[in-house]
Structure 1
């Protein structure tokens, strides 16, 4: 298991949402699966590709000439907001987030704001003071714009921040933004090839708050 350097401190943490602090796979795949079936897509091929990205980007990339991506993305969003059954927090995430000073952390998600709020509430997780959502960016992950904006809103320089992610598109975005990265593997069904440190969940770690509100991660 990776050991976080006990002397390394950070000015702030940025968290992806789905797959990183909560598990929404069942709900998301129900909604997207119904849509994909109507479009004649192969579910086994399609569903693994839609996690960690903005809905509009996923649909646009399919290049389906008979649909309007904006209209379809809005329809899927309505379905996802209505269906949060089975959305649960990743182990230890609620306590981990609650232990952080509110001005020291942010959520940076590919989900739109209304969906992010609905899923956080369903999972029993705190609503952050600072959040970057799909509406805030012109281009989604793996482009670094979302994390660059998150850093700006936190008031933290990239080398002084840690990003928590779960998928390669998000890891690539954080890497391009220049932050430290930890990969959360709680929802992984297959190993993710990355050289960055991994954590199965938050139950084995805690946050230590030092002088000036500096954050460090320690194993219990």
Structure 2
């Protein structure tokens, strides 16, 4: 296939942040006297506001979110991050105006992580603050295509999570999964690692 643009998810796709996310949620749980493993298990399946309602009922959700954001920002400043093998080489091989990041995180954290790992930045980041509906809604990927002046049918989405796959498919885009042993339902192609996918992603733009 040939695509005009490549749209990347970040966490789990370009960067390994699982340990960081687990640590942040465990610290958050400790502040509320909750079990870290139980809270993290819920957080993996739900949005933060839904997690708060499930594990800290009766607590002010705004207070819960403010603490989570503070812990996440501190982790960006002090945590240890690693890009997946081949990520830097892949991104540097792509024309800067033909790829973008579509993430459920916030842009300032993504920029902080990229700076610490040496990954190049694209011209466009669609983050959680950019949209009213996050993945699995198609809105984030459709917004990225709109801002790039691209037809959704000409976009290749690189994802690792089921919600991201559903988002890209609902946007009418081709979706490849990476860093997973088996493809998520609907994905057009799967690679066990980003490094394995990299040459195919480059070829897709030529």
Superposition TM-score, scaled by structure 1 size: 0.80
Q: List runs of 5+ in structure 2 lacking aligned partners.
A: none
Query: 1:175 Cα shift?
Result: 1.3
Cα distance in 2 for residues equivalent to 1:23 and 1:35 = 20
Q: List runs of 5+ in structure 1 lacking aligned partners.
A: 1-7
The answer to whether the Cα contact below 8 Å between 2:52 and 2:64 also exists between their aligned partners in 1 is no
Residue number in structure 2 paired with 1:27: 20
Query: 1:10 Cα shift?
Result: 0.3
Cα distance in 2 for residues equivalent to 1:107 and 1:38 = 32
What is the aligned residue count?
A: 201
The answer to whether the Cα contact below 8 Å between 1:15 and 1:108 also exists between their aligned partners in 2 is yes
Cα distance in 1 for residues equivalent to 2:34 and 2:136 = 24
More helix by share: 2
Q: Aligned in 2, Cα 1:167/1:75: closer, same or farther, shift over 3 Å?
A: same
Residue number in structure 2 paired with 1:16: 9
Q: Aligned in 2, Cα 1:194/1:42: closer, same or farther, shift over 3 Å?
A: farther
Q: Aligned in 2, Cα 1:192/1:76: closer, same or farther, shift over 3 Å?
A: farther
Q: Map Cα deviations across residues 12-43 of structure 1 (whole Å, 9 max, x no partner).
A: 00001111100111111111112134445544
Query: 1:65 Cα shift?
Result: 3.4
Give 1:166-185 correspondences, 5 Å limit: 166-185=160-179
In the alignment, is residue 105 of structure 1 matched against residue 99 of structure 2?
A: yes
In the alignment, is residue 215 of structure 1 matched against residue 205 of structure 2?
A: yes
In the alignment, is residue 155 of structure 1 matched against residue 145 of structure 2?
A: no
The answer to whether the Cα contact below 8 Å between 1:106 and 1:130 also exists between their aligned partners in 2 is yes
Give 1:77-156 correspondences, 5 Å limit: 77-84=69-76, 85-156=79-150
In the alignment, is residue 36 of structure 1 matched against residue 26 of structure 2?
A: no
Q: Map Cα deviations across residues 54-112 of structure 1 (whole Å, 9 max, x no partner).
A: 64x55466384322323322321221122142211011011101111111000000011
Q: Does the residue aligned with 1:173 lie in a helix, a strand or coil? A: helix
More strand by share: 1
